[in-house]
A = this chain, B = another copy of it.
Amino acid sequence: MSEETRLPSTDAPPSAEVKTEDVEMEQETMQEAQEKQPETLKRKYDDAAAKNGKSEPNGKSEANGVKLEGASTLTPVIVAPRAPQLEYIPLKTGLAYDVRMRYHAKIFTSYYEYIDPHPEDPRRIYRIYKILAEAGLINDPSLIGADDIGDLMLKIPVREATREEILQVHTPEHLDFIASTEKMDKEALLERTEKGDSVYFNHDSYMGAKLSCGGTIEACKAVVEGKVKNALAVVRPPGHHAEPNAPGGFCLFSNVAVAAKNILQNYPDSVRKIVVLDWDVHHGNGTQRAFFDDPRVLYISLHRYEQGKYYPGTTYGGADQVGEGPGAGFTVNIPWLVPGMGDGDYLYAFQKVVMPVCYEFAPDLVIISSGFDAAAGDIIGGCHVTPPGYGHMTHLMKGLARGNLCVVLEGGYNLDSISVSALAVAQTMVGEVPGELATTLPKPETIETIEEVIRIHAKYWKCLQPGHMAVALQSEKSLRLGDSLRTHQANTLFHNHQYITLPILESKFHATLEDQIVASPDIYDCQTIVISVHDPPEIWGLTDALSGTIDSINSVVVDPSQQVLEWAQARKYGVIDICVPLHCDDDYTYNPQLAGQELLLYVWDHYLQFFQASKIAFVGVGEAYSGIVHLLGHRDVRALVKASIGIVDKQPLRAIVPLIDENVTEWYFRNSLVFTSAKHPCWENANGDAIKKPRKKFGRVLKGDSVGMVDIFGERFDEGCDFILDAFEEFDSSDD
């Protein structure tokens, strides 16, 4: 018998890190297995005992001097039945809800408000409580807040927050002001409502605010103390807009901030780090303010921002707001630039930023400032997050902090939307799994926003660093990449083809434009000229996965417009190559579109007029094409210019402005071709319907099948060349 056991080639033999008793037990079974047919287990044990001789009273037998445990048939191995060692599932989900929070309401001032009440409506919390009952998560037929609400959820009694608790975040002046509303007369209440920043008051506001705040505290405490596995605080008025010294945005006291400070103070050993995730569609300025310099609380907010125009209407919610002092990096704002965000956008943000950062932070408690105003159906929020979307986000957050999660209601104004959304969250909290997402892919704007957030936060979070470490772009000793590429391009033409520069002798043009116009040496005398007007080259490259620096070995400079030069040179045409820079280092007013227009006019006025050529064709690539269209409208070029080809990827179409006479538009339409990307926006109108043909003033526009300048060029270039040859009345094919 061969000694060698065939094991996987590179692996060492396993060491016997097993208890000897188990080995012996198994030896017996394996010997049995080798020598007999399969039998019942009982008979095996019988035979083993018989074969191996005497049994000992404790069940051990000896066989060949090797002890066997459990070989006796009378006392098999027993594992005493145990209560399951479970920490999480035996607990219920806490629920904080109290009808007394329904009395804070806006005093009606017109009949209109009966039809169209204020969005921060007392019914919000009632409707959520009601749907939990309808779904059987709680058992409370009267819906007034019974004490025993069933097997899944546990009622958390809501109490008023104390003065001391509130003063951990707010100023005494603010607290006293809110307290004073309890006794104000009606005119004063209405005046304060009018003058406040989207707040209202009645005689129940102070109590409601104290209850909302205290309910949040009690919900968090119940989670931290292990009384419940997680908790849902269905409270109003909301809290995340309330600043230390002012109410705002329907918020009076900053519920989540007060609760977080309370937990950090009272449970210093079990809770040292808290994540506050704010998925309310508005930025939680109050919460951010409370912890802006506090590294113990990581505040993450996803919200509509739109350059600070969306409520609260300041730049405090911008991605550049990262915290200050010791809290730098512990505020993460994810600001949406456009409305209409859906499941895919939130999922993308979670995958790229929220979850990696939270895992790295490793919190002891997670609090979700859960506004449901990003839900589908909420007109104020204008977004499309579905109940499964909220379910998935809850499921992901539940994996952190050993499931210590407290979800606190903030905003959300469509009563049906907030109900189904809150139900999905509650179901996930009690242990259900989330449903199917509507979309899993983000908008392009989301991808760019997330990229910006990652760039900003890469210096604070290791998980965001791969590929983003090389961030110092403002070194004085550095050189703009675009400049060095154009210079090299021009130098190659000088050396290899004896090109000359056509200098620009007007001072209004910036010095950056010096090398931008080069021409073949025969340009003054040749009969036919092709003029290539283009953007700077693209660079396709690989970035180092760790540092993000660009791998100059594996990066290439891609400039499809060079094909124009090669084609024209092969046909012995004169060539002018004009590169219009997309930016200018020293001049922030530089506009590439205007620069291109001025360049083309200059070339026409000072050069083309004086050349011998009788036929000219333009080929415009990218943004630079706008300069050609401008020229064709502002000068009477029709005697000389036979064709104009434009190739655009994402750049907008340019309309000819017929200053010369009204026939120019028709002439332009007949003598031009403009090829666009397959996804160019000109092929769809505002409603999303397809447009067959853009208007003539844009030239003859054709839709390509490709995306990306290189591919569009590759697909259409020959067609453009044939068009030019046709216009030049040279009927050869362009297959050189």
Contacts and interface: CB of A to CB of B under 8 A. Distances in A.
Given A29-B102, A78-B141, A484-B488, A380 B6 contact: no
Contact of A82 (B79, B85, B135, B311): B135
B546 A550 contact: no
Given A355-B351, A557-B481, A433 B12 contact: no
A26 B143 contact: no
Interface string A99-120: 1101111111110111111110
Interface in A570-611: 582-583
Interface string A546-578: 111110111111111011000000000000000
B11 A89 contact: no
A651 to B, nearest CB: 14
Nearest to A15: B379
A473 B38 contact: no
A200 B33 CA distance: 14
B399 A434 contact: yes
| Protomer copies | 2
A540 B549 contact: yes
Contacts of A377: 17
A485 B139 CA distance: 73
A710 interface: yes
A482 interface: yes
A315 interface: no
Given A88-B433, A473-B554, A477-B559, A81 B139 contact: yes
A482 B377 CA distance: 53
A7 B398 CA distance: 34
Given A114-B23, A194-B6, A359-B440, A539 B547 contact: no
Interface in A1-60: 1-18, 22-23, 26-27, 29-30, 32-34, 37-38, 41
A451 interface: yes
A423 to B, nearest CB: 9
Contacts of A433: 88, 398-399, 402-403
Given A1-B109, A451-B467, A463-B441, A115 B431 contact: no
Contacts of A37: 203
A172 interface: no
Contact of A110 (B1, B469, B480, B560): B1
A247 to B, nearest CB: 12
A484 B8 contact: no
A487 to B, nearest CB: 5
A119 B7 contact: yes
Contacts of A123: 18, 22, 26
Interface in A533-549: 536-543, 545-549
Nearest to A539: B550
B554 A448 contact: no
Given A1-B190, A86-B427, A10 B309 contact: yes
Contact of A560 (B77, B444, B447, B477): B477
Interface stretch (A413-421, A683-691, A694-702): A413-421
Given A38-B207, A204-B38, A448-B546, A198 B484 contact: no
A503 interface: no
Contacts of A112: 3
B436 A141 contact: no
Interface-centre pick from A78, A116, A557 (highest chain B CB count, 10 A)? A557
A547 B356 CA distance: 23
A34 B399 contact: no
A84 interface: yes
A86 B479 CA distance: 63
B484 A134 contact: no
Contacts of A114: 23, 27
A511 interface: no
Nearest to A77: B143
Contacts of A117: 14, 16, 23, 26
B122 A557 contact: no
A713 to B, nearest CB: 10
Contacts of A107: 34
A82 to B, nearest CB: 4
Contacts of A103: 29, 32-33, 38
B3 A109 contact: yes
Interface in A122-144: 122-123, 127, 130, 133-137, 139-144
A432 interface: yes
A88 B537 CA distance: 56
Interface-centre pick from A82, A100, A432 (highest chain B CB count, 10 A)? A432
A505 interface: no
A331 interface: no
Contacts of A638: none
A240 interface: no
